[in-house]
Chain A
Amino acid sequence: MARFLLIRLLQTLPVLWAVATLTFFMVRYAPGGPFTAEKSIPPEILKRLEAHYGLDKPLGVQYVNFLKSLVTGQQPSIRHSNRTVGEIIRESFPVSLELGAWALLIALAIGLPAGMLAAQKPNSAQDYVPMSAAMVGVCLPTFVLGPMVVLFFALKLGWFHTSGWNTPGDRVLPALTLGFHLAAYVARLTRGGMLEVMGQDFIRTARAKGASGLRILTRHALRGGLLPVVTFLGPAAAGLITGSFVIETVFNIPGLGKYFVGSVFDRDIPVVGGTVFFFSAIILFFNLLVDVAQAWLNPKVRLE
């Protein structure tokens, strides 16, 4: 186990390096730069601005500095001129983490039971109702669902603010919107996984031995049935906790997602680098978690 973890951690290094390199060259070669603006800047001012941010140096030097800054996080943002990349991530990540955690909780609380219920009696009303709802959830993008829940719960019923991130109540609507959307996927994956397991021999054996339905579900089927959900949840959770641009825009939430997208539009090279790097690191970490969880859930998978 320790050996497996060590190897996997070492494997992440070249991946992170590749991501950083690609990011740097893509954003550097994109047309327009951080100082391209509607009112064009006099050439001598532009030269000094570029010098200030080290963008006048040879590309190789810039690249090395870029890699260094990813490690330290000390590089100042160009768009947010008195903040460093490290500060930006430190300020906005907790918000995204909290929102993502709530959403994940909602997704699991709705998705898992719905999927299990559906799998219990496939092709019955018990299956069709939650699965149709899940289909709607999958198809309904968050930028449609978000405004809809605001119109109903905030404007019509007046229970919550339409947007913001001040009071505990402000967490409800964005978490619901994100959570609902994800719950739909979770429900469908749970149903699929459970159905597959429920048809296997060892379940029939358990049934023949007279185990109750609940016992079969919790003791025998659940571990195997949840494998697809766990696999899906790794990258999904990484995406959730690093912020959602759409949700943050609809609900005006100060999360990381806005920087992730906005920095590319601004060609804010240090922030693009920092957020992409951070996001990749989290994805890699969650994939590692998934691998460990899979080994635990499925005896067939061996870590060594």
Chain B
Amino acid sequence: MKALFTAACLAVLLVGCNKSADKPAASGGSGAKADPGFGSGPAVAPGKMILHRGNGSEPSDLDPQIVTGVPEHMILMGLFEGLTDEDPKDLHPIPGVAERWEISPDLLTYTFFLRKNAKWSNGDAFTARDFFEAYKRMLEPTLAAQYAYMHHVVKNAQAYNEGKLKDFSQVGYKVIDDHTFQVTLIGPTPYFLSLVNHTSWMPVHLPTLAKHGKPYERGNKWTRPENFVGNGSFTLDQWKVNEVLTIKRNPHYWDAKTVKLDGLAFYPISSSETEERMFRANQLHVTETVPLSKIPGYRKNHPDLIRIEPYLSTYFYRINTTKPPLNDQRVRKALALAIDRASITENILKAGQIPAFNLTPPGTGGYTARGKFSGDLTEAKKILADAGFPDGKGFPPFELLYNTSESHRVIAEAIQQMWKKNLGIEAKLLNQEWKVYLDSQRQMNYQICRAGWTGDYVDPNTFLDMWLTGGGQNETGWSNKEYDRLIGEAARTGDAAARHELFQKAEIILMDELPIIPIYHYTRQHLISPKLKGWHPTLLDHHPYKHLWFE
């Protein structure tokens, strides 16, 4: 027994010494034991083309009108199809359940012509009535759908959602006939067709909902595998909570012949380290992310496995503009200028992130901001002196708040150093648990705090309308009349170029006033088996599953 125990302990110690095997390089090319299929993922065979992917955390539900998270979105993309679908290469709207649509000359009325062969996964015919009923549910006050505001571009939708209007027939949804559905908007919304790709615009099968609970309330059991009915290219197969969720080919899908995969398996893996080990052991074809420490190794030794893709998301610091000295634009600008962003993206993050000098990520729906703040350190020092703090003298100490996380801490420390070295300003770091931090931010109980924003749809509006005076996501106390006017006007402008110009002007104001300090634009990192084909980099990290296949 003793010998066994000693041997076991020795083995453990040996593994410890072997930690160099940790590097993907070593395990990939270390001679005899090298796995020839390193990174090839689980085996696939005809009839068993199952894509195994890491999916972050456990989905909270599969009801498209209730869920709000990215992991849920990744699954729902396979289970449901909206009026439009996403092009696999650049996500531009392509026909979905609607095979074509007409837009009225005033850009306010969209008429969708649904395909006649569209069906639910239980074989029921899909009609315009289904969209009508589903959208009614979405706006039903009793459902309290968090993303109901995505429908507020529709005539009277907000009033109905807030309970001020009782008569749903006045809301801008109309069933013309079984296969024609009409939506009337409150203003020209050039991104409307992209918007309807969002989960909140996916249809649900009301008869099924009524069978398994109260259709207009939460807690309905219709999303259990035995009850589920959807209309996507795949349908729910198994849902083992905290273990795996699998979806399988939907034989009733109108375009089933295009679908090449037989199914997908989504693993809720909260630890990126665990996920990377699973990938290395060929248990996954695609990972949700890559641990920070492994990125350089993969980039160097396995560039064929790691994919780094731009993402519609920006990392920035919010500034509480209501309290001195940060209510002074000059101080905010000095702080923004004194950050060496390239040093953060190249030395800390190392995954191709783009240093940000404005908020909206470049190329968002054809828009790349002109309004970038600029200036060098000399200027930063000068304007700080102008503001009454030469060399940071007399600058009151302040706190930089971030939610507890290794990478936020490292970035905050780097910026703390930069401010100290470049401006002579002392920032104290303060970390809080996620919800405590969110609460502090909401209550404006902070001076500067870390933040991030991911677009809901590919249009600059999703980044810029949040800074309207008193907006729910503003949380900086900043307010600018001209800015409000420009964003409001953009919402009423149909011409794409003129509208983008309004956003340009607005973002110039935002980057001059700097209630926020942009740091970098995110990228997404995945480890992907080379045998998976049809995966294109897209800004929302969506990869429509019906266009993926194995080789």
A-side residues, CB < 8 A to B, are 30-33, 35-42, 44-45, 48-49, 52, 76, 79-83, 88, 91-92, 110, 113-114, 117, 126, 129-130, 133, 136-137, 140, 145, 147-152, 154-156, 158, 161-165, 180, 249-255, 258, 265, 267
Contacts and interface: CB of A to CB of B under 8 A. Distances in A.
A44 B162 contact: yes
Contacts of B283: 161-164
Interface string B220-250: 1101100000000000000011110000000
Interface of B: 1-2, 5-6, 8-9, 11-16, 18-19, 21-22, 27, 33, 35, 58, 60-61, 63, 66, 68, 141-142, 144-146, 148-149, 162-163, 217-221, 223-224, 240-243, 267-271, 273-274, 277-278, 280-281, 283, 433-436, 438-440, 442, 452, 472-473, 475
Contacts of A88: 241
Contacts of B163: 44
Contacts of A158: 35, 281
A76 B221 CA distance: 11
A101 B15 CA distance: 26
Given A82-B224, A162-B277, A31 B435 contact: yes
A79 B60 contact: yes
B435 A32 contact: yes
A80 B58 contact: yes
Nearest to B452: A38
Interface centre among B14, B146, B241, B242 (most CB of A within 10 A): B242
Nearest to B445: A31
Contact of A133 (B9, B60, B162): B9
A265 B8 CA distance: 37
Given A31-B440, A148-B15, A250-B274, A81 B142 contact: no
Contacts of A251: 274
B182 to A, nearest CB: 26
A155 B26 CA distance: 12
8 contacts: A30-B436, A45-B148, A52-B218, A80-B241, A110-B8, A148-B19, A249-B271, A254-B242
A81 B243 contact: no
A44 B164 CA distance: 11
B242 to A, nearest CB: 4
A162 B27 CA distance: 14
B281 A265 contact: no
Given A79-B60, A163-B274, A151 B18 contact: yes
Given A31-B436, A80-B61, A81-B218, A151 B242 contact: no
Contact of A147 (B273, B436, B438): B273
Contacts of B278: 161-164, 252
Contacts of A83: 241
Given A133-B5, A148-B15, A180-B12, A52 B217 contact: yes
Contact of B6 (A129, A165, A249, A265): A129
Contacts of A81: 60-61, 63, 66, 218-219
Contacts of A41: 146, 472
Contacts of A155: 21, 27, 277, 280-281
A221 B230 CA distance: 67
Given A32-B439, A35-B146, A253-B243, 8 more contacts: A37-B68, A37-B146, A49-B144, A88-B241, A110-B8, A136-B9, A252-B268, A253-B242
Contacts of A150: 277
B33 A156 contact: yes
B381 to A, nearest CB: 35
Given A32-B436, A145-B12, A267-B435, A39 B241 contact: no
